Amino acid sequence: MAFTENVAASRFNLVYLALTVLLLQYVPHCASITQTVGQPWPLPQSYKSGTNVQSLDADTFLFRVVGNDCDLLREAIVRYYKIIFRTAADAAPSHEDEVLRFQPKSDPTVLEWDQYNTDESVLGSLDVKVEDKCVDIGYPSLDMDESYALTVTTGSATLVGKSIWGVMRGLETFSQLVYEVGLGAYQVNDTEIQDFPRFAHRGVLLDTSRHYLSLRSILQNLDAMAYNKMNVFHWHIVDEISFPYESRTFPQLNIQGAYQPAYTHTYTQENVRTVIEYARLRGIRVVPEFDTPGHSLSWGKGQPDLLTKCCTKGVFNGHYGPVDPTVNSTYTFLTGLVDELSKVFADHYFHLGGDEVSFGCWESNPNITQFMNKTGMGRNYAKLEEYYMQRLVDIVAKKNMGYIIWQEVIDNGVKVRPDTVVEVWRSGQEAELAKVTNLGYRAILSSCWYLNYISYGSDWMTYYKCDPQRFNGTSQQKELVIGGELCMWGEYVDSTNVISRTWPRGSAVAERLWSAEEVKFPEAAEARMEEQRCRLIGRGLPAEPVSGAGHCRHEYDPDQ
Amino acid sequence: MHGLSKCVAVLLLLCFTRRVTSEEYRHPDAVSSGVPGGWQRINASEYRRLVAEHKHGPPKDQPASDHLDAEKRFDEPLRGDRGKPLRRSNYGDDEPAFRAEPQRPRLRRTPRPKLAIPTAPPRPRANFSKDVIWLVDDNTFGLRPADDQSLKIRMGPPPASGSPWPMPRVYQPMALVYQLKSAEFHMHALGFTCDVLETAFERTQKNAFVASVPANAGEVFYSDGRTAVPVIYYLNVTVAKRCDKYPSLRMVESYDLEVKRSGVTIYAQEVWGALRGLETFSQLVYQDDAGHFLINKTFISDYPRFAHRGVLIDTARHYISKEVLISNLEAMAQNKFNVFHWHIVDDQSFPYQSKVLPNLTEFGSYNPKTHIYTHEDIVEIVNEARLRGIRVIPEFDSPGHTLSWGYGTDHLLTSCYDYTGEPNGFYGPVNPILKWTYTVMQRLFTEVMELFPDMSIHLGGDEVPYECWTANPFIKRFMRRNNMEDVKELLNLYEKRILSIISEIGKRQNRRVRPIVWQEVYDDSGQVGGSVGPDTIVQMWKGSGYDLQAMVEAGQKVIYSTCWYLDYISYGQDWQKYYNCEGLTTFEESGSRNTSNLIGGEACMWTEYVDDSILMPRLWPRATAIAERLWSSASVNDMVLAAPRIEEQRCRMQRRGLAVGVLAGPGYCNHIRNTPGAAHNWSYFARLWKLGQRNYDTPSYGQLKNKVYVVDMNAMYLVPLVIVVSICCLTLLSVLQDTSRSRIITFFLLRAPGTSRLGVRGLLYVFLLFAFAWCVWTAPIWMNVWEDTKKPKLSQPVF
């Protein structure tokens, strides 16, 4: 075959060469998704970016506190200084050789840096102004003001927020505007941002019962939430399978109910305090969920007589069902537990659960039937659930706490107090949202954001498209939707993969909940999403690829 | 002299039939914890019966035996097959079941202490579907009480403890437990040794003794009130052949492993088998509540089902760092995989550092400074793989999947034309009609084959976009002039050239080459009357079991990967899909005429949606399921039996520091279970789980090889005795013989002295010679035993 090819080749070699040279420049670099450079995620409500570029010097850059000052602010500034200039620390050699300062051992982009290191202007500082009082303001809440204004112009940059929480969001945005052009060299474009969140409740649910999540991964998740401007950590701390919360009042709950209480599978009071404080410093609320009357099998081990005994033909058959609502000891116990939780957890809201109650066990128990006959409920088990929830709600209300419940409580016709927040999680979200808001309750949506369900490909786009206010209702009804939550249930998730599975898919939810309603096209967000993923990777979080082949400037380094 | 030899015989007998003292204990959890296939005492006749049963089916007149009875039989006088007392067996002579009834009761000074072993309560056999159900709706394990359909709890199975993965061919664990102390455990090579074995020792030492329970976490009381079990101090590996430098397709990975009171022995023909044996050993070790490392008395005889057990990793779609690749190699070794198929370059990037064609890397990689594999990286990876008995097969896919090559090499790719006959600016596959193409390939592959020592190199050949070829006017003209009608002939031409280039390079480098190509090359060249050549191996990635059958029967060597595309993910657990891969289960070992042609399979991890951050948790432990399919017998296919074991494997890998993900639903990693007094969530679930299990004890796994090599460590202790006795006898004989030629001596010698025939004396000389050789052979162990006896004994276990 060789000779034929030889002949053929010699004939058109020249033409071919010319053609190839000509065409090679048109070859699209299909290899990677285009990434934006220095664009924020989630997209601010008003965002103008100029072409004028200034550089930042890691050594001399200053955050100037021009408004109110407090420890929260200082902590945030230190944190964001480290985030913005994180590679500068790697770049700087340990000895004081100034010449080598930005030429580390294996500088991949030294040429690039030289190219950019021309005489453009240098941004020396960011003026940070908190307008409201910021000392001793306690914990973030549903009503906190998260708006801010950020301006970067030649020679000056200003960040103004009404409250410290808004300034935190602004610092996050500023850290995203700064981009690295060489190892240890940073630039920022002129920018003007006016920003505020679309929804007040932007949550992440982590389930620490199906699999125990290490404290480290919870804190990492709080970091990731801050990087995406999420503000509620919904801690589904206990469930059917295990009870990792270390209760002071009822220590047996944990000792008997946890996977491995003696060693590692427990959140001690110290751990819980750490989480709450870590979240507070980032402007994140911690809403604990103690799910009753269903999903409480693990409680029964440490609290005898709490659960309903399931019966076969009137005889206890060895299995347990939901919490037994007919005995007074249940409510004594709950009062004690709620009393403790109201002291341990700082947030005003408390998630009471109430989902997936199986009536089968209640039906089989003769004591419960007797109780229901006595109180005139007949065979209406929704009434029994209402009775239970009502008493639980009263206990919580006595502690002056607000509460969130799953949608079933409303679906079963239970009457709850009007200030209740209802979390919608079942499919058919539009009808449900309309129904809940029609009854005058505030609602949170999480139906379309079950991130524990995975599939091959770029599924973040479906999360991105889901809108909590897209249902038939009046504008008053739509205002009652106060936000949403992404859910990461723990059946197939533990510390090894919780971060990579939640982020950056959760970032899609973050943008939906923060940015304006008009920002709804995933195709337009794809390049920014890719930058956001690489940003998370660069900050040391194992965020998984979501948009096909590509690469980040700094790949994931688990040691970071 | 008869008396003397009888004395010797009795002495020998007594030594061989080791006394059973109260040193051997049962672990309190031994029966109740969920170790599959084991925790059950079995004696020699039972064992032979089972083997026979396995070979010939159960005896017709007998009902299937209840193995639980073996527990009861323990204290009864044990009889051999023919009603005589058993003396010695090939399998484990310190097995109490083999104990001979005393020949001469008067020799016994004290009555033998009875072993206090609690009789296990009869294990309830419940209907599986009654208590634990397989929740089909979301593919998960779960619990559902039979009488309350509304209550449903998803949960993973409780992990087993100390069970190996993949399941060995013959796996015979017993209920006797020994202790290992990490600081006082020594491994020795008795046969050939090399750096592979030495580093394997280090790795095993590290992997076997990873604590998940704090030392002295609690006291464990065994059935007789003691708090410790007998300690094993040694592991001896005998490798029968000199080590090869690199693993190959033809390496022998079989090994025999025995855990006994006197130590652990591994016998392997080649060092690669020893590696697998050491891995199995490290998996047999588990911890009790007090943090003791325990191991069960075990006999294992093992060999793989397929020679090629691979993991493909694509480093072109996303760059995977060297560190992650090496930790993947470690995970592969822990699952007895032996091929790392490195899909190193593709359309998206060219991270391979080519020194002969540097522009390929310079322009083809994502970032030529950070996102490439230098030659040093490659050498390091190949070496790390070699030390784990893993072959590295690089894949340079052409003519399709080569877009990234075009950035750095002019005229390599075909330019595509649109329907108007104008170039449309895109580039297609490699241009097969230019001489330059083959020059590039020749240079590149010469370099590649110098770097990668393995016999195989993967040449790709999949998914060639023919449209670009057929639209190109030059190629059209070429085809016309060469009377080619089908564009597939062009692929055939290209592949032929590439294969001949490869074999030329092989000849020049003086090595045999077995190139691998993707299925399309075989299919397409078959359609145009070509073939891929006898040395080429074809990798299947699409199609059904029927194709496989046809290919194999046509005499084609095949690697199978159709059902193992692990980059495709779905909610819930999907490992059962990989575990019982249909393409392979329909392909029975006995069902096909030409079994040997299916040389193995590969798990594929393409990296469109995978990078450093997620590769390990996504690949493992899902690939673990594939490991068992490729290693173990085809009959090991019950996923309910496998579930607790794979769960343990996951936890084990996690404990050893690998970032493996979640497999089978809610649960946690810890092997402490079933300890009275402590609170364990598993107790409830594990009970239900076990209720639902079929009998774990049936040793149905695998079949016996014809020959079992077991180095008998116990005989070691006899060496000095044999030597001393022999020397005494010889001296006595010589003295007697020389001084007085009495008739008595003649009588004892059976033959007149001075005759040339071999007598007892001669036999004794031969015996002495053997004993001496034996002594020399086992000298290293000996010395250690001797040294060890001088150490002060500690009353408390030290960790």
In a domain, A405, yes or no: yes
User: End of a domain among A195, A216, A244?
Assistant: A195
Q: Using the beta-carbon criterion (under 8 Å), do B151 and A319 form an inter-chain contact?
A: yes
In a domain, B279, yes or no: yes
Q: Is the per-residue pLDDT at B627 higher than 80? A: yes
Neighbours of B246 (CB within 10 A): 18
Q: Which residue of A has its CA nearest to B681?
A: A259
Gap from A349 CA to chain B (nearest CA, Å): 28
Q: Is the per-residue pLDDT at B94 higher than 70? A: no
Q: What average pLDDT does range B210-215 have in this prediction?
A: 71
Q: Using the beta-carbon criterion (under 8 Å), do A317 and B147 form an inter-chain contact?
A: yes
In a domain, A541, yes or no: no
For A309, the token pair is: 């005994």
Q: Can you tell me the distance from the alpha carbon of A322 to that of A387, in angstroms, rounded to the nearest whole number?
A: 14
User: End of a domain among A195, A217, A232?
Assistant: A195
For B536, the token pair is: 């080429």
For A387, the token pair is: 């009775």
User: End of a domain among B55, B85, B100?
Assistant: B100
Partnered with residue A188 across adjacent β-strands are A54
Calculate helix-pair angle for A366-375, A381-398, nearest 10 degrees: 80
For residue A2, the chain B residues in CB contact (below 8 A) are 435
- A12 vs B423, B474, B610: nearest CB: B474
Instruction: Give the range of the structural domain holding residue B745, as residue numbers without chain letter.
Output: 713-793
In a domain, B632, yes or no: yes
Residues B281 and B349 in one domain: no
Residues A455 and A439 in one domain: yes
For B154, the token pair is: 């998803």
Under-50 pLDDT residues of chain A: 1-31, 91-117
What pLDDT, on a 0 to 100 scale, did the predictor assign at position B283?
Answer: 93
Confidence of residue B145 (pLDDT cuts 50, 70, 90): low
What pLDDT, on a 0 to 100 scale, did the predictor assign at position A21?
Answer: 37
Out of A356, A363, A430, A544, the active site residue is: A356
Interface test with B, best of A4, A216, A491, A497 (most B CBs within 10 A): A491
Residues A261 and A217 in one domain: yes
Residues A368 and A480 in one domain: yes
B653 with B326: CB under 8 angstroms? no
In a domain, B495, yes or no: yes
Q: Is the per-residue pLDDT at B724 higher than 70? A: yes
Residues A105 and A233 in one domain: no
Query: Known catalytic residues of B?
Result: 463
Residues B467 and B595 in one domain: yes
Q: What average pLDDT does range B146-169 have in this prediction?
A: 74
For A60, the token pair is: 């001399």
Q: Can you tell me the distance from the alpha carbon of A198 to that of A512, in angstroms, rounded to the nearest whole number?
A: 9
Residues A205 and A189 in one domain: no
How big, in percent rounded to 5, are the helix, strand and coil portions of chain A?
A: 40, 20, 40
Q: Which residue of B has its CA nearest to A30?
A: B348
In a domain, B134, yes or no: no
Residues B443 and B548 in one domain: yes
Residues B261 and B316 in one domain: no
Confidence of residue B228 (pLDDT cuts 50, 70, 90): low
For A505, the token pair is: 């898919």
Check which CATH number belongs to the domain holding A132 and give it. Answer: 3.30.379.10
Sign of CA dihedral B447, B451, B453, B454: negative
B348 with A32: CB under 8 angstroms? yes
Residue recorded with tokens 């240079």: B443
Residues A113 and A248 in one domain: no
CA angle B513-B518-B523, nearest 5°?
A: 110
Interchain CB contact of B572 with A (< 8 Å): yes
> What number of CA atoms fall less than 13 Å from residue A396's CA on the CB side?
24
Check which CATH number belongs to the domain holding B236 and give it. Answer: 3.30.379.10
Q: Is the peptide bond before A504 cis (omega within 30 degrees of 0)?
A: yes
Q: Which residue of B has its CA nearest to A364?
A: B148
Q: Is the per-residue pLDDT at B495 higher than 60? A: yes
Gap from A242 CA to chain B (nearest CA, Å): 7
In a domain, A467, yes or no: yes
What pLDDT, on a 0 to 100 scale, did the predictor assign at position A198?
Answer: 96
What pLDDT, on a 0 to 100 scale, did the predictor assign at position B140?
Answer: 60
Q: Is the per-residue pLDDT at B108 higher than 80? A: no
Q: Using the beta-carbon criterion (under 8 Å), do B613 and A556 form an inter-chain contact?
A: yes
Residues A261 and A381 in one domain: yes
Q: Can you tell me the distance from the alpha carbon of A507 to that of A529, in angstroms, rounded to the nearest whole number?
A: 8
Q: Using the beta-carbon criterion (under 8 Å), do B403 and A317 form an inter-chain contact?
A: no
Q: Using the beta-carbon criterion (under 8 Å), do A5 and B617 form an inter-chain contact?
A: no
Q: Using the beta-carbon criterion (under 8 Å), do B614 and A545 form an inter-chain contact?
A: yes
Contacts of A476 (CB under 8 A, 6+ apart): none
Q: Spell out the alpha helix ranges (H) of A404-504.
A: 408-411, 429-438, 460-465, 475-479, 498-502
Average pLDDT, chain B: 73
For residue A312, the chain B residues in CB contact (below 8 A) are 147
Domain tally for chain B? 4
Residues B394 and B536 in one domain: yes
Closest CA to B703 of B51, B164, B174: B51
Q: Can you tell me the distance from the alpha carbon of A191 to that of A24, in angstroms, rounded to the nearest whole number?
A: 37
B397 with B382: CB under 8 angstroms? no
Residues B691 and B748 in one domain: no
In a domain, B163, yes or no: no
Q: Can you tell me the distance from the alpha carbon of A536 to that of B487, in angstroms, rounded to the nearest whole number?
A: 47
Q: Using the beta-carbon criterion (under 8 Å), do B612 and A364 form an inter-chain contact?
A: no
A107 or B377: whose pLDDT is higher?
B377
Check which CATH number belongs to the domain holding B634 and give it. Answer: 3.20.20.80
Instruction: Determine what percent of chain B is predicted with pLDDT higher than 70.
Output: 63
- B155 vs A24, A241, A458: nearest CB: A241
Interchain CB contact of B453 with A (< 8 Å): no
Domain tally for chain A? 2
User: End of a domain among A195, A212, A234?
Assistant: A195
A193, with CB counted inside 10 A (0-12, 13-18, 19+), is buried
In a domain, A17, yes or no: no
Residues A173 and A239 in one domain: no
A204 with A234: CB under 8 angstroms? yes
In a domain, A288, yes or no: yes
Interchain CB contact of B479 with A (< 8 Å): no
Residues B458 and B587 in one domain: yes
- Specify the DSSP element, H or E, that contains A486: strand A481-488
Instruction: Give the range of the structural domain holding residue A154, as residue numbers without chain letter.
Output: 35-195
Q: Using the beta-carbon criterion (under 8 Å), do A9 and B433 form an inter-chain contact?
A: yes
For residue A361, the chain B residues in CB contact (below 8 A) are 148, 150-151
Q: Can you tell me the distance from the alpha carbon of B137 to that of B70, in angstroms, rounded to the nearest whole number?
A: 41
Q: Can you tell me the distance from the alpha carbon of B350 to that of A233, in angstroms, rounded to the nearest whole number?
A: 42
Residues B250 and B391 in one domain: no
Residues A368 and A427 in one domain: yes
Residue recorded with tokens 């470690």: B330
For B701, the token pair is: 């796994």
In a domain, B147, yes or no: no
Partnered with residue A403 across adjacent β-strands are A350
Check which CATH number belongs to the domain holding A226 and give it. Answer: 3.20.20.80
Q: Can you tell me the distance from the alpha carbon of A198 to that of B783, in angstroms, rounded to the nearest whole number?
A: 78
Instruction: Determine what percent of chain B is predicted with pLDDT higher than 90.
Output: 35
pLDDT digits (tens, 9 = 90+) for B410-427: 889 999 998 888 888 889
Residue recorded with tokens 């704090």: B214
Q: Can you tell me the distance from the alpha carbon of B663 to that of B576, in angstroms, rounded to the nearest whole number?
A: 10
Write down the pTM of the prediction.
0.78
What ipTM is given for this predicted complex?
Answer: 0.86
Q: Can you tell me the distance from the alpha carbon of B479 to that of B484, in angstroms, rounded to the nearest whole number?
A: 5
Confidence of residue B53 (pLDDT cuts 50, 70, 90): low
Residues B439 and B571 in one domain: yes
In a domain, B118, yes or no: no
The one-letter amino acid at B365: S
Residues A355 and A466 in one domain: yes
Residues B597 and B510 in one domain: yes
Phi, psi of B638 (to 5 degrees): -90, 110
pLDDT digits (tens, 9 = 90+) for A41-83: 999 999 999 888 898 888 888 888 888 888 899 889 989 988 9
User: End of a domain among B302, B332, B362?
Assistant: B302
Residues B297 and B352 in one domain: no
Q: Can you tell me the distance from the alpha carbon of B99 to that of B715, in angstroms, rounded to the nearest whole number?
A: 16
For residue A16, the chain B residues in CB contact (below 8 A) are 411, 434, 474
Q: Can you tell me the distance from the alpha carbon of A102 to that of A111, in angstroms, rounded to the nearest whole number?
A: 12
Q: Is the per-residue pLDDT at B731 higher than 50? A: yes
Residues A347 and A474 in one domain: yes
DSSP E strands, A119-242: 122-123, 125-130, 148-153, 156-161, 179-182, 185-195, 201-207, 232-236
What pLDDT, on a 0 to 100 scale, did the predictor assign at position A448?
Answer: 94
In a domain, B708, yes or no: no
> What number of CA atoms fall less than 13 Å from residue A539's CA on the CB side?
27
User: End of a domain among B100, B125, B151?
Assistant: B100
> What number of CA atoms fall less than 13 Å from residue B595's CA on the CB side?
13
DSSP state, A194? E
Pairing of strands B293-302, B255-260: antiparallel
Phi, psi of A481 (to 5 degrees): -80, 110
DSSP E strands, B323-380: 339-343
What pLDDT, on a 0 to 100 scale, did the predictor assign at position A122?
Answer: 87
B741 or B702: whose pLDDT is higher?
B741
Measure CA A521 to chain center.
21
Residue recorded with tokens 């964001």: A80
Residues A206 and A161 in one domain: no
Residues B466 and B582 in one domain: yes
In a domain, A535, yes or no: no
For residue B425, the chain A residues in CB contact (below 8 A) are 23, 26-27
